[in-house]
Amino acid sequence: MQSDSLRIDKWLWTVRIFKTRSQATVACRAGKVSIGGINVKPSREVKPDEIINIRLRAFTRIVRVKGILSNRVSAKLAVEYMEDITPQEEIEKKHMMKELNYEYRHRGLGRPTKKHRRLIERLKKHKHF
């Protein structure tokens, strides 16, 4: 069933930007999803060629609606219904955050002790960008 509009929370879920529809709804209610600079409610209808800004943790993802889906599809098919137009700076910011939050432990060392965990948490808390 193809229609010309769909609720934004459902569309964000169908194209796999959010894992669950309730996460998409919460993001809309929290003001993390906007169209044309205006925060949208979960019930806002989205139409083809609209540009959506989604704030995800430390970066903003920008997508253009290419098509409307009524049901969730595989990740391979989902990319046909949206165009990711996120600036390269935002993508680099995402990769940098991922690298900074990464911890490496040599194989066979097991879980960190309580002392080591506290040290790791303290170091992470004091990172400056």
DSSP annotation of 84: E
What does the alpha-carbon distance between residue 92 and residue 47 come to, in Å, rounded to a whole number? 29
Residue type, 103: E
Is residue 129 very low, low, confident or very high in pLDDT (cuts 50, 70, 90)? very low
pLDDT digits (tens, 9 = 90+) for 25-67: 999 999 999 999 999 999 999 999 999 999 987 789 999 999 9
The Cα–Cα gap between 64 and 60 comes to 13
Topology given in CATH for the domain delimited by 1-86: 3.10.290
73 compared with 123, residue with greater pLDDT: 73
Dump the DSSP string for 7-19: EHHHHHHHTTSSS
Question: Phi and psi for 46 in degrees, rounded to 5?
Answer: -110, 140
Q: Domain locations in the chain?
A: 1-86, 88-129
Place of tokens 């903003």: 60
pTM for this prediction: 0.74
